[in-house]
Amino acid sequence: MPGPLQGLRVVELAGIGPGPFCCMMLADLGAEVLRIDRPDGPPGGHPADVLGRGRRSVALDLKRPEAIAAVLALAQRADVLVEGFRPGVTERLGLGPDACHARNPRLVYGRMTGWGQDGPLASVAGHDITYIALTGALWSMGRAGERPVPPLNLVGDFGGGGMLLAYGIMAALFEAQRSGRGQVVDAAMTDGSATLMGAFFGQLAQGRWKNARESNLLDGACPYYDTYECSDGMYVAVGALEPQFFALLLKGLGLDAARFADRTDPARWPAIRAEFAAIFASRPREHWAGVFDGSDACVAPVLDLEEAPRHPHNVARGTFLARGGGAQPAPSPRFSRTPAAEPMPAPRRGADGAAALADWGLEASMIGAALGG
């Protein structure tokens, strides 16, 4: 089956990071995504390119009016257009929302930026780390007394960026079914990372969260929600928050539950942590993985990027695909009636050229002019 988004047409103006991630998600679920690459852009086509998979590519020089005319013609036939330039760039190119909506009033115009389309920082450069720095997310991650630790670029680029844009696009498409009108989706990584931090802002306001690293239940302060080093230098993750799970943790560690009746008292946490650390450090990771395998103790081995695709649960679920000499995540989430197909590999820059434009209904004369033929 082609996935639940079969029939959805998306024009992607090539970018980096969150925009491609958004379009990957749409393509994974069956959308027809046509990426407009720069003629001098990255060559593409690597079988291990996860973010570039699932779409076709046309290379167009957007400094040429013929190329702009072709993109407007594509927008006229599309349901969605995605761009990730700084505010005002597509307007100067002649591809802004007004120009596109003049051709296609139903178009959902997705805009992906770090700071958003307005505000004092809108035109300033940035990266994931700078965006999450201004929303409290970066401050909250790391050990007490140490510097904040970047959580890869999961919070800004991907969760608070590309995934937020995909969510916004689908919401706008739903609304367009009723109104018959498209609109602009202004997805900013600052907004998205703030949304991801919503639960913690709420707990802070209720006095249930301390505004300091490693001082709370879920940020490494709690000894039964943390990681521990094993005798072989590998790690296990422990998340035994509820009483029944904590009891199973103690059973696996060979500890008497009666000694831990006051486990929720933060004053006891350092002593509990020291005891847990000594026990976990006495055996290798695989020993503990075996002890807690299939248990509700919420203990798991911390797997690296090469180990994770080989874990039996991930294998059974088909969570990863073998691609390009390695692994990459399969499309998610899962659908009972319209499951997604295995995604196409990432295309080489401009590989689909005239054929893709013709499939979208552009006339031969326009295609030749756009491609410089």
The answer to whether 144 and 214 have CB atoms below 8 angstroms apart is: yes
Alpha helices by DSSP H, listed for 78-149, are 89-93, 97-103, 128-133
Pull the structure tokens for residue 190.
């600052």
Active site residue 127: yes
In Å, how far are 14, 46, 56, 248 from 349, measured between CA atoms?
Answer: 10, 10, 9, 54
**DSSP letter for each residue of 215-253:** -STTTT-STTEEEEE-TTS-EEEEE--SHHHHHHHHHHH
Active site residue 46: no
Q: Which residue has the tokens 């027809």?
A: 32
First to last CA, the chain: 37
Q: Is the peptide bond before 333 cis (omega within 30 degrees of 0)?
A: yes
Of 157, 219, 226, 352, catalytic: 157
Apex 349 CA angle, 83 and 156, nearest 5: 40
Shortest CA distance to 366 belongs to which of 68, 166, 89? 68
The set of residues, in sequence order, having a beta carbon less than 8 Å from that of 55 and lying 6+ positions away, is 12, 23, 27, 33, 34, 35, 344, 346, 347
Of 46, 127, 287, 311, catalytic: 127
Q: Which residues are catalytic?
A: 127, 157
